[in-house]
Structure 1
Amino acid sequence: MVAITTFLSLLAAASTAAAQSQNATLRYMPFGDSITEIICWRSKLWNKLQTTEWSSVDFVGSGKTENNCRDTKYDRDNEGHSGFLAINIANQKQLVGWLQRNPADVITMHLGTNDIVQQNKNVNDIIAAFTTLVQQMRDHNPRMKIVVAQIIPLGLGNFNTKVQQLNAAIPTWAAQQNKTESPIWVVDQYTGFSGSGDNRDGVHPNDAGDTKMMNKWYPAIIKAFEAAKADKTAEL
C-alpha cells in the first residue's frame, strides 16, 4: 500500500509539473523603432501563432496603439518607438526601464534606421550600441533569447550603402556576443525586400512588406520560444 501511495504521489507531481510547464506563459517583446511600432507585421505574427502551440505567448511592451491593421484581436503590446536611435536608447538606458516594467523571455530587435537616416551615425557606433543593448537585456534576464534583424532597405535617399554596411557587420558581431544560455539569432530582413516596392513611404513596410518581415522573423522566433520554454521546464 505504501509503495502504491508513493507511486501515485510521484505520478501526481509529474502531472502537476507537466501542467505547469504547459501553462508557463512566455513573454515576448517586439523592440525597435517605427518599423516595429507603426506597422502590421506584429499583427500578422500574432495571427500566425494562433494556429500553433505558441498561441498563449504574451506580447509585452508599453506601446498598445492599433496601426490601421484592420485587426481588433491581436496582442498590440510592443516596445517600438518611432524616431528613436539605437545609440540614444543604449546610452540613455531607456531599455532598462522598459524591461523593468515589462519583463521578457524573448526579444526581437530591428534598430539602426534612424541612426543612419537622421544623423548618419558611424556603423561602429551603432554596433557598439547594440552591444550595450544586449548587455542590458542580459542584466535584466541572463537567459534572454535575442533575435536581431539585418534591417530592411530604404526606398528614399542614398542611405542603403550604409544600411548594407551595418547589415554586413551584424553577423560577426552577433557571433561574438552569442552565449549558450542567451543565444542570438540573426534574421536577414534585407534580402528579398524591395525598398521601393515593399515600403509604403520609402521607410515603413506596406502590406506585402509586413508579410515578408513576418515570414523572415517567424522561424527564428519559434527557435527562441522553444529555447525559452526549455528554460522554464528546467526550472520546475
Structure 2
Amino acid sequence: MPVGDSMTIGSAGEHTWRYRMWQHLRRSYGGPFTLVGPRETLHDKLADAPTSYAYADPDFPRAHLAGWGEGWLHMAPLIGEAVRSCRADVLLVSLGLIDLGFYTNAGQTAENVRAFAAEARAANRRVRMVWLPVTPNVRAESDPAFAAEVVRFNELLAKTAADLDEPGSPVLLASTPPSYDVHADTYDGTHPNDSGEHKIAAAFAEAMYQAWDLGEPYEQ
C-alpha cells in the first residue's frame, strides 16, 4: 500500500512513483503482488479535489492511501482501517513534508509516526513498513528554520525506525535518493517529474531488495 501526500497521490496527467514501483515489481518480483488501498484517484488541480483518473498510463493497480495536503497527522487515524479492509502486508510510506510545513514540528511529527505504526500493527500484527525520509524541496533552500526541522525530523525518523523495528513486523528506513535534485527531479521544487518518480520508486525498491531480498536492483 503506497501511503503519502501530494508526491504520492500525484496530479492529473502524471504516471506517479506508484506506477514506476508497479512496473519494477512486475519485472523483478517472482511472487504474486498487487497495490492496495482505499483510494484510486489523482488530484485534480483545477477542481482542487482528488477526483481525476487521468493517469498518463491508467493500466495498473491504482489503489493507494494518499492525499494532497495530508501527512502523518492525517494518516495515523486512517491507517488501521485501511490496512484491515485492504489486507495490506507492506506499507510504502512517504510523508512528513506537509506536517513540518503546516502542522507540527519535528518532535510532534515523530510522535505521529509512532501512532501510525501502532495503528497499522493493531490491524495487522505482521505488517511490514518502509519509510522514506523527507526528500529535498525548494522551501528548505530558502527557509533555514524549515530546513533545520526537516533535518531534525529525518534524524528522528531514523531513530524511530530503529526503535520500532522487530522481526515479526520490520520497519525499514529507505535512503533519500542520493542524486535527487529539486531543480531536475521536480516540476515545481517539490512534486516529482518523471525522473523524480523513478528515484522515489528506486529508494523504496532498493530498501526492500537489500533488506528483504524482494525483487532486484531498480532499473529505470
Shift of 1:97: 2.4
TM-superposed CA distance for 1:143, in Å, is 0.7
Number of aligned residue pairs:
196
Q: 1:74 to 1:143 in 2, by over 3 A?
A: same
Q: TM-score, normalised by structure 2?
A: 0.80
CA distances 1:199-225 after superposition (whole Å, capped 9, x unpaired) = 111211111111111111112234677
Per-residue deviation, 1:145: 0.8
From the superposition, tell whether residues 192 and 162 of structure 1 become closer, same or farther in structure 2 (CA, over 3 Å): farther
- 2:2: which partner in 1? 30
| Corresponding residue number in structure 2 for 1:112 | 96
What's the counterpart of residue 161 of structure 2?
A: 174
Q: Give the structure 2 partner of residue 103 of structure 1.
A: 87
Distance in 2, matches of 1:86 and 1:190, equals 21
Q: Distance in 2 between matches of 1:138 and 1:145?
A: 9
C-alpha distance in 1 between matches for 2:87 and 2:211 = 16
Of 39, 63, 67, 1:81 maps to 67
Larger gyration radius, structure 1 or structure 2: 1
Percent of residue pairs bearing the same amino acid type: 24
Match of 2:21 in 1: 45
**Alpha-carbon distance in 1 for matches of 2:127, 2:211:** 9
Query: Aligned residue for 2:125?
Result: 142
Q: CA RMSD in A?
A: 2.1
The Cα shift of 1:185 comes to: 0.7
More helix by share: 1
Q: 1:63: which partner in 2?
A: 39
TM score, norm. by length of structure 1: 0.75
Aligned with residue 128 of structure 1, among 108, 111, 115: 111
Report SS of the residue matched to 2:79: helix
Pick closer, same or farther for the CA change 1:98–1:111 going to 2, 3 Å.
same
Aligned match of 1:204 in 172, 191, 195?
A: 191
- Corresponding letter in the other structure for 1:83: G
1:85-126, CA deviations, whole angstroms, 9 ceiling, x for partnerless residues?
Answer: 312332xx222222232121111111111111223x211110
Letter of the aligned partner of 1:208 in structure 2? S
The one-letter code matched in structure 1 to 2:162 is A
Q: Is the 8 A contact 2:131 2:174 kept in 1?
A: yes
